Structure 1
């Protein structure tokens, strides 16, 4: 899901959190990698303003994810730097509303008619990108998957994930292994 990939641009490394959208070049690469979902050309190039706007939106979405997993623990990557819930909600809604969508009927020769959502008017690239990201976050947060959204509790992990199995505790097998190894170490440390 695009919203999870978007908030996961903040990751953990051995030396601490890593922002994979740390500059305009990173934003350009991420945009090109997600061009189809964002409605971008494959030769997309980010601007400084677009990058700043996307980072601001990411923090708002992370704040709403933190609210969604409460009372459970939130991601430790930036919990102390997240905007308030009301401001985040306003920003995400404004970004989604900036590019209204309308249904368009497509009916290929010999095929069945299909309705697709397209932008209802002309909008700049930044508004289109932020609208797609905000809409993905709204879809996740207002949908049935919100109840399965969790912050990974593994040591040093800062990712959110949607629990796919009732017994799933971590975002990945690697995080599960790290958590079990840390628990084993702490249990046997003083022996």
Structure 2
């Protein structure tokens, strides 16, 4: 899994099932954003995002706009299959979603640089262009989203349809229907319950 693909789905996954039948949002506050960034520092660094991040209201607002744009385009990508049920009724139209990502991604130009440690394989990483300020967080996330949406794995994108799940995932094999084993088990249990507790048909 490439860094950009992983980071895009990680951002989309900040809206998730809360374990109690509802939906949780990991980015409801500036401090929530700071915690998420800290947990994803390595992935963000590969997108040209400088270390030493200090969360503020403007950045938080920008990240939420990028996430909404990304999730709207993920919903478009899985169509005509149903999108994630978490926010399908409040996502921006596709043209607005595209504009959000493209505008954010252009905020800070980056250039690729080759890194080749003596004890590891070479890897290309993005760095802020020398004449500009370091990449901001919404720009880094928008670039990751664009890389995923334009990449070869988009046709494998699915929205998990298990009860209570709201995740997007990449289909890894032909018969995969759910994002993880626990979702498959939950869906199987729901089908079993429906079969054995269906209301009898009136005669």
1:186 CA drift (Å): 0.3
SS at match of 2:112: strand
What is the aligned partner in structure 2 of residue 155 from structure 1?
Answer: 163
CA distance in 2, matches of 1:37, 1:83: 26
1:139 CA drift (Å): 1.5
2:31 equivalent to 1:25: yes
Deviations 1:10-69 (A, max 9, x none): 01122411101111111010011111222342x533111111111111011000000000
CA distance in 2, matches of 1:111, 1:35: 20
What is the aligned partner in structure 1 of residue 185 from structure 2?
Answer: 177
Structure 2 residue ranges without an equivalent (≥5) = 1-5
TM-score scaled by structure 2?
0.84
When the two chains are superposed, the root-mean-square deviation of aligned CA atoms in Å is 2.3
1:144 CA drift (Å): 1.4
Aligned 1:84-163 pairs, distance under 5 A: 84-104=93-113, 116-120=125-129, 121-123=131-133, 128-163=136-171
For residues 146 and 113 of structure 1, do their structure 2 counterparts lie closer, same or farther at Cα, with a shift above 3 Å needed? closer
Partners of 2:17 and 2:166 within 8 A in 1 = yes
Structure 1 segments, 4+ long, off by >4 Å, are: 105-115
1:112 CA drift (Å): 9.3
Partners of 2:112 and 2:126 within 8 A in 1 = yes
CA distance in 1, matches of 2:140, 2:181: 30
What is the aligned partner in structure 2 of residue 82 from structure 1?
Answer: 91
1:114 CA drift (Å): 6.6
CA distance in 1, matches of 2:32, 2:121: 40
Among 10, 17, 24, the residue aligned to 1:5: 10
Partners of 1:37 and 1:132 within 8 A in 2 = no
SS at match of 1:144: coil
CA distance in 2, matches of 1:47, 1:94: 20
- Larger fraction in helix: 1
What is the aligned partner in structure 2 of residue 61 from structure 1?
Answer: 70
Structure 1 residue ranges without an equivalent (≥5) = none
1:110 CA drift (Å): 11
Among 162, 172, 175, the residue aligned to 1:167: 175
Q: Pick which of 82-91 and 104-113 moved more.
A: 104-113
For residues 108 and 149 of structure 1, do their structure 2 counterparts lie closer, same or farther at Cα, with a shift above 3 Å needed? closer
